[in-house]
């Protein structure tokens, strides 16, 4: 299972990278705005900065919602750096654009996916990644992890190449649950990743080992 970090914060990306477990980054327009990155030029420079920190894929989201605009913007984003994956929303024009990008060898991440039907369309169109948002489903009393399980089953049954990228992860247990149902990738904020480190018996055990070692 690959680990992506879901942020545009360069310090957090560096911290996850330093841990040695980071495979990529996802961003979205809200995460960019949260870091105060505004304006086309600054946003594009920020994507390049992110690519220069990490070794893996970096999702950069298009703003356009019409076919021609998505194609134009997606090609510009993909041209910024070889690590860029073009993030395209699950709308009719987006599906058409993903198909075209796939034909041209441009990698895509189909975002804002909330149902198995949408995930089937993304795979049929040739998306590299599909991003089901599990936290936002949980927020409306629907089981987000169950959606990941359904999509993984469907993709395995038909041997689709599209990778299931579990997004909108809110806590550490989401990561474990996504691993249990076979998600290819999880993208999460830094804190849920760091949460995986924690166990009180580890702390107690280490304290005892060190105390025993230091006994005279
Ligand atoms: C996915 O790529 C999105 O950037 C992200 O996971 C959305 O998460 P949120 O629901 O916490 O905003």
The response to whether residue 167 sits with its C-beta less than 6 Å from ligand 1 reads yes
Confidence class for position 22, pLDDT limits 50, 70, 90: very high
d(CA 58, CA 27): 8
CA atoms within 13 A on the CB side of 142: 12
Non-local (6+) Cβ contacts of 8 within 8 A are: 27, 31, 32, 34, 35, 37, 46, 50
The response to whether residue 47 sits with its C-beta less than 6 Å from ligand 1 reads no
**183 touches 177 (CB < 8 A):** no
Question: 42 C-alpha vs ligand 1 centroid, how far in Å?
Answer: 21
pLDDT digits (tens, 9 = 90+) for 92-141: 999 999 999 999 999 999 999 999 999 999 999 999 999 999 999 999 99
d(CA 109, CA 112): 10
Atom of ligand 1 nearest to the CA of 136: 10
Confidence class for position 158, pLDDT limits 50, 70, 90: very high
Confidence class for position 12, pLDDT limits 50, 70, 90: very high
> Per-residue pLDDT for 216 more than 90?
no
Backbone angles phi, psi at 118, to 5 degrees: -65, -40
Q: How much is the pLDDT for 154?
A: 98
The response to whether residue 168 sits with its C-beta less than 6 Å from ligand 1 reads yes
Atom 7 of ligand 1, nearest CA residue: 168
Question: 170 C-alpha vs ligand 1 centroid, how far in Å?
Answer: 9
Atom of ligand 1 nearest to the CA of 170: 11
Q: Annotated catalytic, 87? A: yes
Backbone angles phi, psi at 170, to 5 degrees: -110, -20
**99 touches 74 (CB < 8 A):** no
- pTM here is 0.96
d(CA 99, CA 74): 12
pLDDT digits (tens, 9 = 90+) for 169-181: 999 999 999 999 9
Non-local (6+) Cβ contacts of 49 within 8 A are: 10
């Amino acid at each position: 299972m690959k680990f992506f970090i879901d942020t545009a914060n360069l310090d957090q990306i560096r911290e996850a990278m330093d841990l040695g477990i980071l495979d990529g980054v996802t961003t979205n327009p809200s995460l960019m705005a949260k870091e105060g990155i505004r304006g086309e030029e600054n946003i594009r420079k920020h994507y390049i900065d992110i690519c220069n920190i990490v070794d893996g894929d970096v999702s950069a989201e298009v703003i356009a919602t019409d076919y021609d605009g998505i194609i134009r913007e997606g090609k510009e984003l993909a041209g910024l750096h070889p690590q860029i994956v073009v993030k395209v929303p699950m709308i009719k024009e987006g599906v058409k654009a993903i198909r075209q990008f796939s034909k041209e060898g441009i990698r895509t991440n189909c975002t804002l996916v909330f149902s198995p039907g949408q995930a089937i369309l993304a795979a049929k169109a040739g998306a590299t990644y599909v991003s089901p948002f599990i936290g936002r489903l949980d927020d409306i009393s629907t089981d987000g992890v169950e959606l990941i399980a359904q999509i993984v089953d469907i993709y395995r049954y038909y041997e689709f190449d599209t990778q299931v990228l579990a997004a909108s992860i809110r806590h550490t247990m989401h990561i474990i649950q996504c691993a249990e149902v076979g998600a290819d990738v999880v993208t999460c904020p830094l804190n849920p990743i760091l949460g995986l480190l924690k166990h009180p018996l580890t702390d107690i055990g280490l304290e005892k080992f060190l105390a025993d070692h230091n006994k005279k």
